[in-house]
A = this chain, B = another copy of it.
Amino acid sequence: MSTRYFGAAVPRLEDPRLLTGRGTYVDDIVLPGMLHAVFLRSSVAHGRIRSLDPSAALSMPGIRAVYAMADFVSFGSGPMPTMAPHPLLKSPITCSPLAVDEVRYVGEAIAMVLADSRAEAEDALAAIELDIEHLPVVANARQGIADGAPRAHSGRDSNVIATLRGSHGNVDAVFAAAAHRFSETFEIHRGGCHAMECRGVVAAPEPRSGELSLWTSSQSPYMVRRHLATYLGRDEADIRVTAPDVGGGFGPKANVYPEEFAVALAALACGHPVKWIEDRQEHFLATTQQRDQFWSLEVACDAAGRMLGVRGRCIHDNGAYAPYGLILPATALASFPGPYALAAFDLSIDVVLTNLVPTTPVRGAGRPNAAFVLERLADTIARRLNLPREEVRRRSFVRAEQMPYVTGGKMRDGSPVAYDSGDYAKALSLVVDKIDAAGFEERRAEAATRGRLLGLGFASCVEDTGLGPFEGASVRVTPAGKVVVATGAASQGQGHATTLAQIAADALGVDLSQVTVKAADSRIFPLGISTIASRVAVTAGSSVEIAARKVRDKAIKVAAHILEAGEHDLEIENGQVRVVGVPDMNVPLSTIARVLSGSAGVPIPAGVEPDLAATGYFEANQLAFAYGSQACEVEIDPETGDTRITRYVVAHDCGRLINPLIVDGQIRGGVVHGIGNALFEHMRHDEAGQPLTATYADYLLPGAAEMPDIEIHHIETPSPRNPIGAKGAGEGGTIPAVACVISAIQDALGPAAPFITMHPVSPEQIVEWIDQTRK
Contacts and interface: CB of A to CB of B under 8 A. Distances in A.
Contact of A527 (B472, B524, B610): B610
A392 B527 CA distance: 62
A523 B524 contact: yes
A397 interface: no
A613 B234 CA distance: 19
Number of copies: 2
Contacts of A516: 237
Contacts of A529: 598
Contact of A597 (B24, B209, B527, B601): B527
Interface stretch (A289-297, A473-481, A654-662): A473-481
Nearest to A34: B32
A256 to B, nearest CB: 13
Contact of A208 (B22, B226, B480, B603): B22
Interface in A592-627: 597-599, 601, 603-604, 609-611, 613, 615, 617, 619, 621
Contacts of A234: 480
A404 interface: no
Name which of A23, A85, A527, A598 has the most chain B CB atoms within 10 A of its CB.
A598
Contact of A619 (B207, B470, B482, B610): B610
Contacts of A619: 604, 609-610
A526 interface: yes
Contact of A478 (B235, B597, B598, B611): B235
A610 B237 contact: no
A403 interface: no
Interface string A462-475: 00000011101000
Interface string A319-356: 00000000000000000000000000000000000000
A506 interface: no
A30 B204 CA distance: 14
Nearest to A484: B237
Interface string A226-259: 1001000011110000000000000000000000
A31 interface: yes
B482 A23 contact: no
A472 to B, nearest CB: 6
Nearest to A222: B597
Contact of A479 (B85, B226, B476, B597): B226
A487 to B, nearest CB: 13
A484 B209 CA distance: 14
B526 A611 contact: yes
Chain A at the B interface: mostly helix, strand, loop or mixed?
A: loop
B237 A476 contact: yes
Contacts of A23: 208
A409 B209 CA distance: 47
A53 interface: no
Given A236-B480, A237-B484, A480-B235, A610 B472 contact: yes
A23 B210 CA distance: 11
A425 B252 CA distance: 74
Contacts of A30: 32
A687 interface: no
Given A527-B597, A527-B598, A598-B527, A478 B609 contact: no
Given A470-B604, A598-B529, A617-B611, A478 B209 contact: no
A764 interface: no
A741 to B, nearest CB: 37
A28 interface: yes
A403 to B, nearest CB: 24
A213 to B, nearest CB: 13
29 contacts: A22-B207, A23-B208, A24-B209, A28-B208, A30-B32, A31-B32, A85-B601, A226-B597, A235-B479, A235-B480, A235-B482, A236-B478, A237-B476, A237-B482, A237-B484, A237-B516, A469-B604, A470-B610, A472-B611, A476-B526, A527-B597, A527-B610, A529-B598, A603-B621, A609-B615, A609-B617, A610-B617, A610-B619, A611-B617
Interface of A: 22-24, 28, 30-32, 85, 207-209, 226, 229, 234-237, 468-470, 472, 476, 478-480, 482, 484, 516, 523-524, 526-527, 529, 597-599, 601, 603-604, 609-611, 613, 615, 617, 619, 621
The 6 closest A-B pairs by CB, nearest first: A235-B480, A237-B478, A469-B598, A24-B208, A610-B617, A609-B617
Given A237-B516, A469-B598, 20 more contacts: A24-B209, A226-B479, A226-B599, A229-B480, A236-B478, A237-B476, A237-B484, A468-B598, A469-B603, A469-B604, A470-B604, A472-B609, A472-B611, A476-B526, A523-B523, A526-B611, A526-B613, A527-B598, A611-B615, A611-B617
